[in-house]
Every structure is written in C-alpha cells, then in structure tokens.
Amino acid sequence: MQLPRPERHLFLILLNNLMIKITFLGTSGATPSPERGMPSVAIHAKELFLFDCGEGTQRQMMKYKVGYGSVKAIFISHLHMDHFLGIYGLLETLHLNSPSPKPIKIFAPRGFENLLINRHKFVDVISIKEGVLYENDQFEVHAFRVDHGCDAYGFILKEKSKRKFDEKKAHSLGLKGRMFREIQEKGYVTIDKKKIKLDEVSRLEEGKKIVYSGDTRVCESLAQAAKDSEVLINEATFSSELENEAKERFHCTALGIAKLASKSKVKKLVLTHISPRYKDGSILLKEASEIYKNVVLAEDGMVLDL
C-alpha cells in the first residue's frame, strides 16, 4: 500500500515510536523453576536479537510468539551453561525446518567455538571484543566488560543518533524539498549565494539505549554503560541479606543494582535472573523499589515496547 505523503510520514513516525520490542523469554538464574525459564531476552530492533540463550529458549520463543526463524544475532554474555545451552536446539530446529536457514551470527566469549557441538553453514561464531559488535542502519550493539570472575560481558543496544531539523528556522532560511537531503549529504547548501551549514538548522539527537548486564557484580563499567539508559535489564540474583554470597559469586543484589540505576539515571530498571530460592521474587522487587521507584520484576513472557 503506497500511502499519500503526509500519512506516510505519520506512519513512519508511529513505526519509529514502536521500534524496540523487548520480550523476556526466560527470567530464572542458574537453574530453572516451573515458573521461570533459563535466561534469554529477545529484543526486536529492526532485526531480532537474543541476549543469552539458556536451555529451552526455542520453546519459550514459540510460546511467547517471538519468531525464532528470524533471529539475526545471538549475544552470549559469558560461558556459564545456563546462558547458552539453548543455542544447540534452536540451531537444530532452524536446520530441520528449512533447507537454507537465514544466516545467524553468534557473538560469544572466546572458547565458545569448542563448545558448539552442531556446526552449520548458516552459523557464524564471532569472539567478543569490547566495542561495537554489530550494527544495522538504525541500531548498534556494543559489548563492555563486567565483573563475573570470568570472561564476561554486558551489552548496549543503542539506537543510532538521529538528525532533527529545526523546521521553522530551516524554512525561514529558504530550505525546501530536496535541499534537506543535499544538506545532510554535503553538510551545507547554498541558497541565494548564502552558505547554510547543517548544524545551523539541525542537531543530532542521541538514540535510545538499552543495557543488558549479563551476570555481574555491581561495577564501574556497568554504571558507565547504564548512564541515561532507557532500560537497564539487570541480574538480581541475590537479596541484600546475602550480600556476601553475592560478592563471592560475582553477582548483584537487588539493592546494589537499584543504587546503581539511581546514580546512573536509568529510566527503567528491570530485575531478572531471579534465583529459584526467591519463589515469586517479590522480596527483590521490594528492596530495589525502596531505593529506586522505576523498577519492575521480569516475568517470563513480559513485553516492553519502547
């Protein structure tokens, strides 16, 4: 359907505002429970990404209607088995269901190649280094090191910066039609012999940032990554009663991560990787929300649209 111009514009704006969809596929930590599956978060940001892929992820994708056939990339935070055992079954299903599955990139800490028992041509395994791992024309995924006693990473999914025109000023200076494209390509346009620079009539607006912690202690790199993020999806494996155990095992407490979220001006904190010891997890939510109001407890199947 080809919409007339103004409607097309509106349609694109609407699309833009609903561009990121986060589905919590598994929200348990270390071991599953009847209520919570193993860690995995699906984020649709123009393309479909998985952040961690614990055992049973393919079935959770089927259950929560996240099209497992179109996963573009999987980001594995670290090589503890609860975070990657679902890859095998997912790859096998893709292999069985199509003679030529779409290519998938798996970004994982060094050493994952030796753990991949089913190698298929459509799978590309890339060892994680800090920095940009993947990008499409609207989003980038960055990796940053975290503190989990092993080669462990968190990830930032960042919407690329977008140029916003001061339309009133641009029109008053005579910009119209194709000049908007020209000024973006060249950095300036000339109208009536007067050079108008791109920065005079527009500015770069920072894109939204979603941060996924993996397993980690509260640490400075996480605080930096989380700064001003739209959403911080963070492990909350322990309550503050078990602060020492959390430190020893390189995990966060709900209280600790709430303090970080507050300091880093995170807009929304989502607690996940809930240990089965906490049954419904309400104790974790309670202690986090005493420090920081905008916090939710992830549940399997929970969806956030941004």
Active site residues per annotation: 82
Structure tokens at 170: 């641009």
- Please give the DSSP secondary-structure letter assigned to residue 277: G
For residue 169, what is the enclosing H or E element?
helix 167-172
Q: Which of 16, 98, 118, 172 binds a copy of itself (CB under 8 A)?
A: 118
Give the sheet arrangement for strand 71-75, strand by strand.
123-127, 104-108, 71-75, 47-51, 40-45, 20-26, 303-305
| Least distance (Å) between residue 275 CB and a copy of itself | 11
The beta-carbon contacts of 91-100 under 8 Å, at least 24 apart in sequence, are 91/118, 91/120, 91/123, 92/118, 93/58, 93/68, 94/68, 94/69, 94/120, 94/122, 95/120, 95/122, 97/69, 98/69
**Counting contacts by CB under 8 A, is residue 161 touching a copy of itself?**
no
Closest to a copy of itself by CB, 69 vs 174, is: 69
Q: Which of 40, 51, 82, 278 binds a copy of itself (CB under 8 A)?
A: 82
**Among 247, 245, 206, 255, which residue's Cα sits nearest to residue 227?**
206
| Least distance (Å) between residue 80 CB and a copy of itself | 9
Q: Which of 37, 101, 109, 154 binds a copy of itself (CB under 8 A)?
A: 37
Choices 10-18, 82-90, 150-158, 238-246 (CB under 8 A): range interacting with a copy of itself = 82-90
**Counting contacts by CB under 8 A, is residue 119 touching a copy of itself?**
no
Q: Which of 4, 6, 34, 177 binds a copy of itself (CB under 8 A)?
A: 34
Residues that bind a copy of itself (CB under 8 A): 30-34, 37-38, 55-56, 58-59, 62-63, 81-82, 85-86, 88-89, 92-93, 96-97, 115, 117-118
